[in-house]
Chain A
């Protein structure tokens, strides 16, 4: 017997007038795995999540969450999943603790359970000290964590997260990633949207790339990177004055060399380590001084560029040199 998928989208579509925000999207998320919905602004990620979590009614198509049809059995769907939306939906006037009490009451959970779970979640999310403060005094990161704690109160087996780390500093972001990995270890199925390739790469087992309401690619992070083409050798010169000589030298070794004018960087298509060592050797004997030489595999950024024709957002605070290598 096969295990029923945790989440399934079947030709889901949502049109706002002439705007086809989501235009026939299908995917399957096996139980216990992480799906990353990757796409630029306006791709339709939020609209997809809103339909799957029963907040928005599809124009056509349907979906299933925990085996329940989002159109026919919305209440069963709501009982089976948690949602952390793109904008934090905490009640700012209530304290952190009261926010959980409110949601606990609406789930019909016992007071004892809500009390104990609140302690547990606040401890885990570093909110204990702020538990009795009004949520409007929380920082953006704390609000996000409170929002997540609210979504986890009923220990949902399936969790939807819409851009969970947007607006967080790198420290909070990695903290949240850690929490999400823990949830996955516990068996939770995650569907998360992101504009950040690094995030999808880090967390997702399977990535669905959406653009303009349609799926333009799907697969594991590795599969997607393979699709973007070959690896390349990247050389950083000590002096920009050597750029032309270096380009000449590299063209003797590789059919395709890319020079960034005005920079000290050159990139050559390569098949693997063999090409890299050969290029290293010719530089060695030529006497052109280099600062760095290395093999770069295509990043998801390249995948993105390759698929959509435009670059994805770069994580704020991320080191730009680890993002894509020009081809």
Chain B
């Protein structure tokens, strides 16, 4: 197409194609998703500036009005808000997946000799990284305003692992929703409608003891509460759940793991079959 064009090129030698393993293909897709974040740091606003704002708003605006037994409100708040950030992974993965489906990127990937699950695995891992950046930002913010982890390194690390495990579980919900919906706007609307009650009707921002009894029951059985309670206990932020709290809050670490497994068992098959169905046309 330019003056540089010369005699017909000889047939190029076909290169060695070594179809990548699931791990390598996923790693390549993660690389691509992280380049996106690097190019558009504003993608991180939801888990950074927004979360910090949440921490500060709740700590200083509502903090005085919400009484928490046995601890300062900031100590109580931080674990809850970190769990909320992890739950938002579902929205992040759903929006990313829908966008890739909409723009034909998934079609491009599907035309290549890679395991098709690499699209989902890559998306999930980069979304977990995305949320983890948010959790890290919040931990730093927390440390600055007086939140502490008081039970040693091992328990502290276990709490972060539980957060990741829970993030992994809710990501399946995100993949399911992302595969069912056609536009990023629809996903965003739907996810935020679901995520807010899910993270507020819980022990994240206020102790459930003060809620009407029916709401309290829902809040205490909410998986988000178990994970929040587990983090609080592992980090030594406040007292154990009150004696009349529901069973999950009496055994929060165990229940965090159990809830993560249950959510995965329910949503992973739904997500995979919705993605497959979407991939057939």
- Which of A's residues lie within 8 Å of B, judged by CB? 16, 50, 53-57, 75, 78-79, 81, 83, 85, 87-89, 91-94, 98, 102-103, 105-110, 113, 117, 120, 123-126, 134, 150, 154-157, 175-176, 178-179, 182, 185-187
Contact = CB atoms under 8 A, between A and B. Distances in A.
A175 B28 contact: no
B105 interface: yes
B15 A154 contact: yes
Contact of A107 (B12, B29, B112): B112
A272 B55 CA distance: 86
Interface stretch (B1-9, B130-138, B243-251): B1-9
Contact of B17 (A85, A93, A107): A107
A178 B5 contact: yes
Interface in B29-78: 29, 31-32, 35-36, 39-40
Contacts of A175: 1
Contacts of A54: 110-111
Given A106-B25, A179-B1, 7 more contacts: A83-B111, A98-B32, A108-B20, A155-B12, A155-B14, A178-B5, A186-B11
B156 to A, nearest CB: 35
Contacts of B29: 106
A88 B19 CA distance: 24
Nearest to B27: A105
B15 A125 contact: no
Contact of B36 (A16, A93, A105): A93
Nearest to B32: A102
Contacts of A185: 8
Nearest to A182: B8
Interface string B105-119: 101111111100010
Given A85-B107, A107-B113, A186 B1 contact: no
A93 B35 CA distance: 8
Nearest to B115: A75
A89 B13 contact: no
B32 A94 contact: yes
Contact of B15 (A53, A102, A113, A124): A113
A105 B36 CA distance: 17
Contacts of B39: 93, 134
Contacts of B104: 85, 87-89
Interface residues of chain B: helix, strand, loop or mixed (majority) = loop
Given A93-B36, A178-B1, A78 B15 contact: no
Interface of B: 1-2, 4-5, 8-20, 24-25, 28-29, 31-32, 35-36, 39-40, 103-105, 107-114, 118, 280-281
A167 B82 CA distance: 48
A109 B17 contact: yes
B10 A53 contact: no
B27 to A, nearest CB: 8
Contact of A57 (B40, B111, B280): B280
B281 A16 contact: yes
6 contacts: A56-B280, A85-B107, A98-B35, A106-B112, A107-B19, A179-B1
Select the residue from A89, A108, A123, A150 with max chain B CB neighbours within 10 A: A108
Nearest to A179: B1
Select the residue from B1, B4, B10, B32 with max chain A CB neighbours within 10 A: B1
B14 A154 contact: yes
Contacts of A157: 14
A89 B113 contact: no
A54 B116 CA distance: 12
Nearest to B118: A106
Nearest to B24: A108
Given A94-B32, A154-B14, A79 B40 contact: no
Contacts of A75: 19, 113
Contact of A124 (B5, B31, B40, B280): B5
Given A56-B280, A87-B104, A91-B105, A78 B11 contact: no
A89 B28 CA distance: 17
A108 B24 CA distance: 9
A233 B8 CA distance: 40
A106 to B, nearest CB: 5
B94 to A, nearest CB: 19
Contacts of B5: 124, 178
A91 B32 contact: yes
B114 to A, nearest CB: 5
A106 B17 contact: no
A27 B260 CA distance: 51
Contact of B112 (A56, A78, A85): A78
Nearest to A58: B280
A109 B15 contact: yes
Contact of A79 (B1, B9, B17): B17
A89 B17 contact: no
A103 B105 contact: no
Given A89-B105, A106-B112, A123-B4, A154 B17 contact: yes
A105 B24 CA distance: 8
Pairs A-B, 3 closest by C-beta atoms: A175-B1, A105-B28, A89-B104
A105 B280 contact: no
Given A125-B1, A155-B12, A186-B11, A55 B17 contact: no
Contacts of B24: 105, 108
B15 to A, nearest CB: 5
A123 B111 CA distance: 25
A50 B107 CA distance: 9
